[in-house]
Amino acid sequence: MKKTTKLSTLVGLALLAPSFAKSAEPTAYKLYYLGGQSNMEGFGFAGELADGAAIVSRNVMIFTGQVALDNETHGGVGIWEFLQPGHGTGFKTDGIKNQLSDRFGPELLFGQTMAIRLPGKKIAIIKYALGGSGLADGVGFGNWHPDFSKGAGNNQYDHFLTTLRNASAQSDVDGDGVADRLVPSGIVWMQGEADAYHSQAAADEYRTNIQRLMGLVRAALRVDDLPLVVGKITDSGMSDDGTVMDYIETVQQAQQDFVNNDVCATYVTVTEDFDYLDDGWHYNTDGFVRLGTAFAVAMHELEQRCASVHNTTP
């Protein structure tokens, strides 16, 4: 019941059409939410990027919500800024000023590639992801379960809602003095390692949990069949027995089953041949470049497919 009340509050936000008392026309931004755990948070090294990828993207805005553990109160604060490297792990914000890190995640090449594939369009990204977070109740360093009620009762799902609320409250996202219009256009989800590592029971619940959570994320963005791209989790094999996540096959099958039964969802499997950092969990810089690009290509194609199903314009 607690979560339903929060969702109803969000539906009342002026997310789709914030307005100022100005005569100028608002700028429409295609809005994408990027969420999940550490390989969405991002461990690519900005210093290893090619010059073209390291630029500030003037047609892409990003709002990265401050990460927080469950029951912490600062999760989801942030500000809009032009997309650039530095929104990976170690990024910090107090809602007044962003402190960029030396890392980046899939958001960088996703935004840049979407801007190339959609010339003349403006792109906006809302990102909230916490490394080690899980879907099953009690799994991971933070939890996305909608019915979480431990401690103060706010978890990663709540921090996502706060991020969305804070991002939508800033009507002039590009700082030009005129209100902008955010048009929810897609979701990218990269998560599952925590559930695949924790237990067979958590892995068995993944199919139900991802379906419920993605339904709530779509509802928060007010589009029931919003295009959804899911990234396939993979195992580095960097453990004594050759498998870091003992229950990964169950989660992978759950991801595949979920997208197979959703006409506006697709599965990105480019991760299958990625190289890892020495920690055995996180992709290297090249992996994050390829992942962000693959997410954008999949999203662009999925938007066209979903539009044809519903006879609309993406």
Q: Residue by residue, what is the 3-state secondary structure of 152-190?
A: CCCCHHHHHHHHHHHHHHCCCCCCCCCCEEEEEEEEEEE
Say what the pLDDT of residue 4 is.
45
* Domains of the chain from N-terminus onward: 27-310 (3.40.50.1110)
Question: How many C-alpha atoms does 256 have within 13 Å on its Cβ side?
Answer: 9
The tens place of each residue's pLDDT in the chain, 314 residues long, gives 444 444 444 444 444 444 434 447 889 999 999 999 999 999 999 999 998 899 999 999 999 999 999 999 999 999 999 999 999 999 999 999 999 999 999 999 999 999 999 999 999 999 999 999 999 999 999 999 999 998 888 999 999 999 999 999 999 999 999 999 999 999 999 999 999 999 999 999 999 999 999 999 999 999 999 999 999 999 999 999 999 999 999 999 999 999 999 999 999 999 999 999 999 999 999 999 999 999 999 999 999 999 877 777 77
**pLDDT at 306 (0 to 100):** 92
d(CA 214, CA 172): 27
Residue 42's region, left for phi above 0, alpha for psi from -120 to 50, else beta, is left
| pLDDT for the residue numbered 16 | 47
Here the tokens at position 22 are 């100005």
End-to-end CA distance of the chain: give it in Å, rounded.
Answer: 34
Residues 6 or more apart whose Cβ sits within 8 Å of residue 146: 3, 157, 212, 213, 216
Question: Cβ of 22: how many Cβ atoms within 10 Å?
Answer: 11
For the chain, the residue count is 314
Strands 228-231 and 265-268 come out as parallel
Three-class secondary structure of residue 62 per DSSP: strand
Tokens describing residue 35: 């969420």
Q: Which of these, 71, 203, 182, 74, lies nearest to 135 by C-alpha position?
A: 203
Structure tokens at 305: 């497919």
Pairwise CA distance, residues 121 & 132, whole Å: 34
Q: Yes or no: say if 83 and 29 are a contact pair by the CB < 8 Å rule.
A: no
pTM: 0.92
